[in-house]
Amino acid sequence: MSSVIPVLEVFGPTIQGEGAVIGQKTMFVRTGGCDYRCSWCDSAFTWDGTGKSEALTAEEIIERLDTLAPASYGHVTISGGNPLLHKGIGQLVNLLQARGIQTAVETQGTFWQDWLKQIDAVTISPKPPSSGMKTNWETLNKCLTQLDTRQVSLKVVVFNKTDYRFAKEVHHRFPAYEFYLQVGNEDPTTADQQKLMQDLLQQYEQLIDWTMNDKEMNRVRVLPQLHTLLWGNKRGV
Amino acid sequence: MSSVIPVLEVFGPTIQGEGAVIGQKTMFVRTGGCDYRCSWCDSAFTWDGTGKSEALTAEEIIERLDTLAPASYGHVTISGGNPLLHKGIGQLVNLLQARGIQTAVETQGTFWQDWLKQIDAVTISPKPPSSGMKTNWETLNKCLTQLDTRQVSLKVVVFNKTDYRFAKEVHHRFPAYEFYLQVGNEDPTTADQQKLMQDLLQQYEQLIDWTMNDKEMNRVRVLPQLHTLLWGNKRGV
């Protein structure tokens, strides 16, 4: 018997818009519930009560994926909220891997579940000061050290210079891990897609500029969110 | 004594705008000369006589890099033209690796040099029909099989549906390698950056659409050229 997982959205196939597997053709499973309340969260519906989650078993989630992409997906991204709140995801990961499907997970690294070791691409994204959240370095360290350096990457979203300094601290505390700087979306509700795209590209250029002029940040990658450039704040793409 | 390398440009630090190391902070060394004449080549100055190359030793190239980014780079991308025409690059790679600097190379996979085995990230990009070039599968196969699957990725630029079918053929002939589809830049000389960006995003969405609806293309990544979205057709960024 599977334990149930609170699920907000199952969608795809689409591209992964950010981080270490940027551009990857993937299906998305977005779980509900988060231990964080980031001021600029672009998926606040997963924790602020505005989104209604369904309690699904791993088998039911697979059925949804199969309906969306009949016998036709090779990669699934589990995002949230914070998926690490849910032990039951282990069963979903087992079922996917039994079919040879690759997996990716996005989390802030505040909780641990043993199933995380099975994930092909784990993105750990400590939240910068602009989020209003505070990183517990010991907890983050515990999470990282249980994973293989080849399977995990660190990602920090940057909205301003204070966030950038935080990103540097993360990179310098954990230099062995692939490190990604990502442009923050300052307006996750606007419908003016044209203006959003222009603003994001401008902020991306700014972030590149800071990084290129910083001798302490040479082994890093700087990326935008491709899905936001393409589709603005639309959900389920 | 080093043999000399014909060099067109040395620039950076900037980001790698495409492929497997997209977003990476890197320096660029662009070599002159190419065995191909792609109709839409965005660096035609490397082979059409409009760009003047300098014959530099590996040590002189390192000096240029050090001047651009004094003691401050961790990654160098060697591009062309086709850098595989030049045996002398081996010495450059040795010097960079002695300093702990990571390397990437871009080539179409038509020539072989032993130094290619030392490169951290090799991108092999067979050219689609719209280029006017023809792929020799045997030569490509020989090049790929001498490299480790973890160090090499395949990339195909796509301008139209015929190119897309070629990309599928490449992926299906060599399924063990990470595979990237990339939007082609149809107007590599225009100065109208705004229009170029809009067109590229539209073509990117089209390419995503083809790939998402194609059950034979599940383990692939679809990416734009980030530098073109940011800076249009400007050289040296």
Quick one: pLDDT at residue A2? Answer: 60
Assign A71 a pLDDT band (cuts: 50, 70, 90): confident
Assign B49 a pLDDT band (cuts: 50, 70, 90): confident
Quick one: pLDDT at residue A32? Answer: 95
Coil, helix or strand for A199?
Answer: helix
Mean pLDDT of B46-58: 92
Rounded Cα–Cα distance for residues A20 and A14 (Å): 16
Residue A205 near chain B (CB below 8 Å): yes
Q: Are A14 and A230 spatial neighbours (Cβ–Cβ below 8 Å)?
A: no
Residue A208 near chain B (CB below 8 Å): yes
Residue A202 near chain B (CB below 8 Å): no
Cross-sheet strand order for the sheet of A25-31: A54-56, A5-15, A25-31, A75-79, A102-107, A121-124, A152-158, A178-183, A221-223
Coil, helix or strand for A124?
Answer: strand
Q: Are A57 and A94 spatial neighbours (Cβ–Cβ below 8 Å)?
A: no
**Structure confidence by residue, pLDDT tens digits, B122-179:** 999 999 999 999 999 999 999 999 999 999 999 999 999 999 999 999 999 999 999 9
In chain B, residues with a C-beta closer than 8 Å to the C-beta of A76 are none
Assign B71 a pLDDT band (cuts: 50, 70, 90): confident
In chain A, residues with a C-beta closer than 8 Å to the C-beta of B222 are 15, 23, 25
Quick one: pLDDT at residue B2? Answer: 60
- Domain at B5-231, CATH from 3.90.660.10, 1.10.940.10, 3.20.20.70, 3.10.450.750: 3.20.20.70
Q: How far is B20 from chain A (nearest CA, A)?
A: 9
> Residues of B within the annotated binding site?
15-17, 30, 34, 38, 40-43, 79, 81, 125-127
Rounded Cα–Cα distance for residues A128 and B56 (Å): 44
> Residues of A within the annotated binding site for [4Fe-4S] cluster?
34, 38, 41
- The contacts of residue B125 (CB under 8 Å, 6+ apart) are B106, B107, B108, B109, B154, B155, B156, B157
Look at residue A1 and tell me whether its pLDDT is greater than 80: no
**Structure confidence by residue, pLDDT tens digits, A192-233:** 988 999 999 999 999 999 999 999 999 999 999 999 999 998
Look at residue B112 and tell me whether its pLDDT is greater than 90: yes
Quick one: pLDDT at residue B100? Answer: 96
For chain B, the average pLDDT equals 95
**Is A22 in contact with B223 (Cβ distance < 8 A)?**
yes
Q: Domains of chain A: which residue ranges?
A: 5-231
Q: Nearest Cβ partner of A222 from B15, B222, B223?
A: B15
Mean pLDDT of B57-79: 96
Q: How far is B52 from chain A (nearest CA, A)?
A: 27
Assign A95 a pLDDT band (cuts: 50, 70, 90): very high
The complex's ipTM?
0.95
